[in-house]
Amino acid sequence: MRLRVLLPTQVLLDREVSKLTAEAEEGAFGMLPRHIDFVTMLEPGILTYTLVEGPEEFMAIDEGVLVKCGTDVSISTRRAVRSPQLDALREAVREEFRIQDDREKATKSALAKLQADFVRRFLDMGKVS
């Protein structure tokens, strides 16, 4: 079956897999190529999949949606990090979260500056009249 993991800005994975496991609201589940078609909400957790031409790999995903239709499985999520080894995945997730935290801090700082500038200019308009 074809597994695609879609992020808002990129396609993180587009490979043939022989099986996968994920975590939904109702609990963990496994899927093989002839699994029935369905849609489910995914919980943040570890997606495990076995490549047709290779070993088992791992992906940490944020909450998302899984759609199984025929031989295609699409997962749409805001954030995901993949790794061929579970130990390396832990470190990759920590680094990704550190980078995102830094970006969020920079964004919040820029937004605060814009708001302060807006208020200052608005008050200056009142002084001119």
> In this predicted structure, what is the pLDDT of residue 95?
72
Per residue, what are the HEC states of the chain?
Answer: CEEEEECCCCEEEEEEEEEEEEEECCEEEEECCCCCCEEEEECCEEEEEEECCCCEEEEEECCEEEEEECCEEEEEECCEEEECCHHHHHHHHHHHHHHHHHHHHHHHHHHHHHHHHHHHHHHHHHHHC
> In this predicted structure, what is the pLDDT of residue 107?
83
- Dihedral pair phi/psi, residue 62, rounded to 5°: -80, 180
* CATH superfamily of this structure's domain 2-84: F0F1 ATP synthase delta/epsilon subunit, N-terminal (2.60.15.10)
> In this predicted structure, what is the pLDDT of residue 128?
65
> In this predicted structure, what is the pLDDT of residue 62?
85
Say what the pTM is.
0.71
pLDDT tens series, the chain, 129 aa: 999 999 999 999 999 999 999 999 889 999 999 999 999 999 988 899 999 988 899 998 888 999 999 999 999 998 888 888 777 777 777 777 667 777 778 888 888 888 888 888 888 887 765
> In this predicted structure, what is the pLDDT of residue 120?
86
Where do the domains of the chain lie? Answer: 2-84, 86-129
